[in-house]
Amino acid sequence: MSRIRDAAPGGPKYAGEVTDEAPVGSTIGDVSPRRTPVRVPASRYISPEWAQLEAERLWPHVWQLACTLDHVREAGDWFEYTCGPLSVLIVRGDDSELRAFQNVCLHRGNELCNGSGTGMDEIRCVYHRWCWGLDGRLREVPSRRGFGVLKNDEYMLNSVQVGSWGPLVFVNLDVTAEPLADFLAPVVAETAWLRTEEYAGQAIVTIPLPCNWKTGIDAFSETYHVQGIHRQMIPSTDDVNGPQQVWDRHGGLNQPYGIPSPRLRDGATDQEIWESFVATQGERVGQPGREDAGPVPDRRVGESVRAMLARLIRDKGAAAGIDLGAFDDAQITDLHQYNCFPNISPVFLVESLAVVRTRPGVTPDDCLLDLLFLKRSAPDAPRSRPVDVAMDAQSADVGTVFNQDIANLQRAQRGLHQPGFTHLTLSREEMRIENLHRNLERYLGIEPSQITGG
């Protein structure tokens, strides 16, 4: 039987566990009685040897999200993407072509560029002044005669594959790897209805965290933890029945908003749903940062709280010149989340997009958490260059829910080092984490599989 406790004084009753009583259709209720938990070796999160395998066999060969198109929209715009020791220079040429190169001078190996910027008309090494055009062709070698015969064609910058999905720019250092569209399939087709090209880049926030990159992205690969660290969401979020799916590499989730979690024994009142939604997503209905949500707004005849939320979101969009009329209530209200192998989670709302990305740090116990923020823009609205900022985990304020995830990730890694903890135990609700590890095994050449159960 479920343990029952109060969510908060005076608040709705909360079923702290869902066991055999889970609603039909939930990821819990659909489990076969013969299924056993999936077990994944914990060493994958703490082992230097495993991290070295990733450095050699994963990161140089997989498509990675680098930046947004708004970072490199105009000729001369450039952006440096780093992943561990790997560094890629992305640049928009005078011919409007987007290109990417390994960020290294072919003279003595000096780094060519650092950070990002605009107005670049050449790629010049500051060390000895070797210079390339934005197309990667060698232009100038100071004191060239001293080298003897030096052929320009033999000193083209090392090309990196570059491609885009909607507003997002991806790179792959492996020039023989499959095209980006093939790698991302079927996520591109699944999200076409969102008109992804209309999202405009606003900012990238980078936060160093004391956890493995997989620990970080795992936190955005399941909703099982909502009942733990996001409990204010429970009255306005169905964290159990949101359909999940996994494809060959990637996974997806549709999470309904505006209805209570079935974990609430007695459901939630309309007022509780409204207060919960405002506390976690007030910006969407024009009430950012409101601790006191006030009474539920007036509703039309027969209009549910969920339908009312959709209407308010539409109205807010219209006031900003954004037409959301083509989307139905569920498409407008709900969260549409994806997990794209290996390290990103695009979280779509119809009016905005937040992409979570984690990158490996110096040790297996470190990572960089990046949050890319985008918003839907009117077709004729001017676009500005996104702002890129670094924050420390203690002072970062990136919204209530993200703040809670960051706070938890600061302590999520330490337990993995305890000698008695040898395996992660995953439920069906954590299938997207399982899918990550099965794909890691493919890239790293782990055979036979070290994953058990399922």
208 φ/ψ angles, rounded to the nearest 5 degrees: -70, 140
pLDDT of residue 287: 86
Distances (CA, A) of 249 to 113, 201, 302, 451: 33, 26, 43, 16
Structural domain containing residue 108: 64-176
Residues facing residue 244 across a β-bridge: 253
Nearest partner of 146 among 130, 134, 157, judged by Cα: 130
196: phi then psi, degrees, rounded to nearest 5 = -60, -25
Give the total number of structural domains in the chain.
Answer: 1
- Determine, yes or no, domain membership for 436: no
DSSP character at residue 257: B
Largest CA distance in the chain: 85
Check whether 3 has a pLDDT greater than 80. no
Residue 394 covered by a domain: no
d(CA 445, CA 64) in angstroms, rounded, equals 20
Q: What pLDDT score was predicted for residue 1?
A: 24
Average pLDDT on 271-293 reads 88
CA pair distance 112, 130, nearest whole angstrom: 10
Q: Is residue 80 part of a domain?
A: yes
Q: Let me know if residue 358 belongs to a domain.
A: no
Look at strands 352-360 and 367-376 and give their pairing.
antiparallel
Where does the pLDDT of residue 301 fall: very low under 50, low under 70, confident under 90, or very high at 90 and above?
very high
**Rounded Cα distance, 217 and 214, in Å:** 5
Contacts of 279 (CB under 8 A, 6+ apart): 232, 290, 291, 293, 400
Inter-residue contact 399 to 347 (CB < 8 Å): no
Residue 309's H or E segment, with its range, is helix 305-319
When mean pLDDT is compared across 114-118, 223-227, 416-420, the lowest value belongs to: 223-227
Q: Strand 86-92 vs strand 78-83: parallel, antiparallel, or unpaired?
A: antiparallel
Residue 304 lies in a domain: no
Dihedrals φ, ψ of 411, to 5°?
Answer: -125, 5
Q: Please, is 29 exposed, middle or buried when counting C-beta atoms within 10 Å of its C-beta (0-12, 13-18, 19+)?
A: middle
- Per-residue pLDDT, averaged over 319-337, amounts to 95
DSSP state of 23: P
pLDDT at 26 over 60: no
Q: In the predicted model, what is the mean pLDDT of the chain?
A: 91
Q: What is the DSSP string of 363-431?
A: STT-EEEEEEEEEE--TT----PPEEEE--TTT--S-HHHHHHHHHHTTTTGGGG-TT--EEEE-GGGH
92, 72 contact by CB (below 8 A): yes
Give residue 32's pLDDT: 61
Q: Summarize pLDDT for 354-393 with one digit per residue, the tens.
A: 999 999 999 999 999 999 999 999 888 899 999 999 999 9
Q: What is the pLDDT of residue 379?
A: 81
- Could you give the CA distance from residue 217 to residue 244 in angstroms, rounded to a whole number? 16
258 part of a folded domain = no
Strand arrangement, sheet containing 344-349: 244-246, 251-255, 335-339, 344-349, 352-360, 367-376, 199-209, 387-390
Give the tens place of pLDDT for each residue, 138-150.
Answer: 999 999 999 999 9
Least confident of 26-35, 77-86, 116-125, 359-368: 26-35
CB contact at 8 A, 403 and 393: no
Cα separation, 373 vs 384, in Å, equals: 13
Is 201 in contact with 70 (CB distance < 8 Å)? yes
CATH number of the domain at 115, please: 2.102.10.10
How many contiguous H segments (helices) and E segments (strands) does the chain have?
10, 22
Task: Give the DSSP letter of residue 296.
Answer: P
Average pLDDT over residues 176-197: 97
Classify residue 320: in a domain, yes or no: no
Asked whether residue 444 is domain-assigned, the answer is: no
Q: Which residues contact 377 (CB under 8 A, 6 or more apart)?
A: 198, 199, 200, 322, 383
